[in-house]
């Protein structure tokens, strides 16, 4: 039986990833199934390192192939911030709302044309034999206020210039195809298919 652990307890990430990889695995687990692992410290210097840290820690504990995602938002007018601090921009246990509010305050007064940004997602896979990672990126701009009710995180204020929608205006099917994580997942699936695990 082919099993995989999605190395996160974030239910939004679990649903976004599991819906796409379901055909390749008989059983999909998450860190919620292994509470004894506790919080995995993400102290890498890059998102690649943080993603690999999570998938490696999960595999070492469970001995089950593990996949992890790490995502950052880079805003050009803020020299790439929030970057590695994307998930905790407004503090260690900040809510999505608090992170968005802080980012909008930092960009207050900055012309819309200069609010260019991108989401980058790294998905890493560790099974002790076929370890690899892939990347997905989406370019856009930071809106001046929230638009849309779907998604999570910074989705309501991230506007895709390619699709003329905020990520929070996209339905799940579209987002799964065109978002940073969606693109990374597609590359991940292609690689899993090539490995024929």
Q: pLDDT for 59-115, tens place per residue?
A: 999 999 999 999 999 999 999 999 999 999 999 889 999 999 999 999 999 999 999
CATH number at residue 67: 3.90.950.10
User: pLDDT category, 197, cuts 50, 70, 90?
Assistant: low
How many CB atoms lie under 10 A from the CB of residue 71? Answer: 22
61 neighbors 37 (Cβ within 8 angstroms): yes
Statement: the pTM of the whole predicted model exceeds 0.85: yes
DSSP SS3 for 196:
coil
Going from the C-alpha of 175 to that of each of 15, 17, 60, 83, 197, the distances in angstroms are 12, 12, 32, 21, 27
Options 70, 108, 111, 127, the catalytic residue: 70
33 is catalytic: no
> For the residues 152-170, what does the mean pLDDT come to?
93
> For the residues 123-127, what does the mean pLDDT come to?
96
Q: How many domains does the chain have?
A: 1
- Determine the pLDDT at residue 9: 84
Residue 108 per-residue DSSP state: T
**Residue 190 is part of which domain span?**
3-195
d(Cα 153, Cα 134) in Å, to the nearest integer? 21
User: pLDDT category, 4, cuts 50, 70, 90?
Assistant: very high
User: pLDDT category, 118, cuts 50, 70, 90?
Assistant: very high
Closest CA to 142 of 183, 174, 173, 113: 113
d(Cα 92, Cα 78) in Å, to the nearest integer? 20
- Residues near 141 by Cβ (< 8 Å), separated by ≥ 6? 112, 115, 116, 117, 158, 159, 161
DSSP SS3 for 21:
helix
Burial 109-125 (b: 16+ CB within 10 A, else e): eeeeeebebbbbbbbbb
């Amino acid at each position: 039986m082919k099993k995989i652990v999605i190395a996160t307890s974030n239910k939004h990430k679990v649903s976004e990833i599991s819906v796409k990889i379901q055909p390749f695995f008989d059983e999909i687990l998450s860190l919620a199934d292994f509470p004894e692992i506790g919080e995995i410290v993400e102290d890498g210097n890059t998102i690649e390192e943080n993603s690999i840290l999570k998938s490696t820690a999960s595999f070492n504990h469970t001995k089950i192939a593990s996949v992890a995602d790490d995502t950052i938002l880079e805003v050009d007018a803020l020299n790439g911030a929030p970057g590695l601090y994307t998930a905790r921009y407004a503090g260690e246990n900040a809510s999505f709302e608090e992170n968005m509010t802080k980012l909008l305050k930092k960009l207050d007064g900055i012309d819309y044309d200069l609010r260019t940004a991108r989401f980058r997602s790294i998905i890493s896979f560790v099974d002790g034999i076929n370890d690899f990672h892939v990347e997905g990126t989406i370019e856009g701009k930071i809106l001046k206020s929230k638009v849309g009710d779907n998604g999570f995180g910074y989705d309501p204020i991230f506007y895709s210039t390619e699709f003329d929608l905020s990520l929070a205006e996209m339905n799940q099917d579209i987002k799964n195809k065109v978002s940073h994580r969606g693109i990374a997942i597609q590359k991940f699936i292609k690689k899993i298919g090539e490995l024929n695990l």
